[in-house]
Amino acid sequence: MMIGSCDECSRVHDLEMEIARLNEVIASLQEELKESVRKNRMDSSNSSKPPSSDGYRKPKPVSLRERTGRSPGGQPGHKGHNMTIPHLPDNSVEHYPTECKGCPRFDECRSQSAFECSESRFVVDAVMLTTVTEHRRIDVICPMAKDDDNKMSGSFPENVKAHVQYGDSFDVVAGLMDTYGAMSDYRISELMRAFFGVTLSPGTVVFMTKRCAEKVGPALKGIREAIIESPVAIFDESGARTDGELGWVHTSSTDQFTYLTLSLKRGTIGIEENGVLPQFNGVAVHDCWSPYFGYENIRHAVCCAHILRELKGIESFEPDHR
């Protein structure tokens, strides 16, 4: 009996050890499952993942602000904003009573100021037009000249070089559409033809954009230096397709200036190419992307929006967490 009891105890002990081991395996698998579910449910609304990673599963927009109990829209006492007239009217159209149309005394009433404007309404419209300026070089044979070569000619302006060319306004419009509007060169040429009745090839648009880039070069350098000298600056990067490849737009900005550069690298190489953060000495505000923390000689501030998203994720995936 004693020997049997010892065997029984040993068997029970082994079973308890096996149960403990299996419980550990179950707990580990549960943690892995929870982590897998968490990662599967992560998106730009509850983590630091960029919106571009959401794909076609765009999360429903949820405000990170707490409810105030106030109704939406402007609050009592808030000064409203209305559309304003950009300048004095170019034309006026008068609308007389229907009964006055065809009246034989209409001109008499108008001459005697019998009519009075009771209300004015304005329509602000856009006019797409082109102007053509002809530059004419004038030749003259001067009767006052003392030598035989008495023929004189005027000179064209330095920027008027071709027989027919586009003016600076087209450079500005093409540059804005290309950079600020992020439009393709082909689409810009199509819109130019539709709006202004001129034919600009995509190659001409590229040339115009490069010419604009050369003109704003000094201003860009000044913006870059101003951000470097600022006490606080914001840094970020966003994916962009360029020549069929994934590139990264690196941004450095303050409340007054924004400096953008394009790089094929997202990390330190792209940050170095941007050139602001490596020379910056103030407080750098950014997300949790690790390359930013590689710059140790500055103060770092993590973007509050990203912290709120992370907290929202914890609240969603760990409801029992305290």
Q: pLDDT digits over 104-154, tens only?
A: 888 888 888 888 888 898 988 888 888 899 999 998 888 877 776 778 889
pLDDT at 56 (0 to 100): 67
pLDDT at 1 (0 to 100): 47
Question: Residue 82 and residue 85: Cα distance in Å, rounded?
Answer: 10
157: left (phi over 0), alpha (psi -120 to 50) or beta: beta
Question: Residue 237 and residue 250: Cα distance in Å, rounded?
Answer: 4
List of E strands, the chain:
139-141, 151-153, 232-242, 245-253, 258-263, 283-286, 299-302
Across the chain, what does the average pLDDT equal? 86
Q: Give mean pLDDT, residues 2-12.
A: 73
**What percent of the chain lies above the pLDDT cut of 70?**
95
pLDDT at 283 (0 to 100): 96
pLDDT at 5 (0 to 100): 67
Q: Give mean pLDDT, residues 280-306.
A: 91
Give the CA count within 13 Å in the CB-facing half-sphere of 18: 6
Residue type, 122: F
Question: Residue 45 and residue 54: Cα distance in Å, rounded?
Answer: 10
- Measuring CA to CA, which residue among 176, 187, 267, 263 is closest to residue 215? 176
Question: Residue 317 and residue 108: Cα distance in Å, rounded?
Answer: 82
How does strand 151-153 pair with strand 139-141? antiparallel
pLDDT digit string, tens, across residues 187-238: 999 999 998 888 889 999 999 999 888 888 899 999 999 999 999 999 999 8
Q: How far is CA 309 from CA 68, 250, 287, in A?
A: 20, 22, 11
pLDDT digit string, tens, across residues 245-268: 889 999 999 999 999 999 999 899
Question: Residue 308 and residue 287: Cα distance in Å, rounded?
Answer: 12
Q: How far is CA 219 from CA 172, 181, 214, 313, in A?
A: 15, 20, 10, 42
pLDDT at 251 (0 to 100): 96
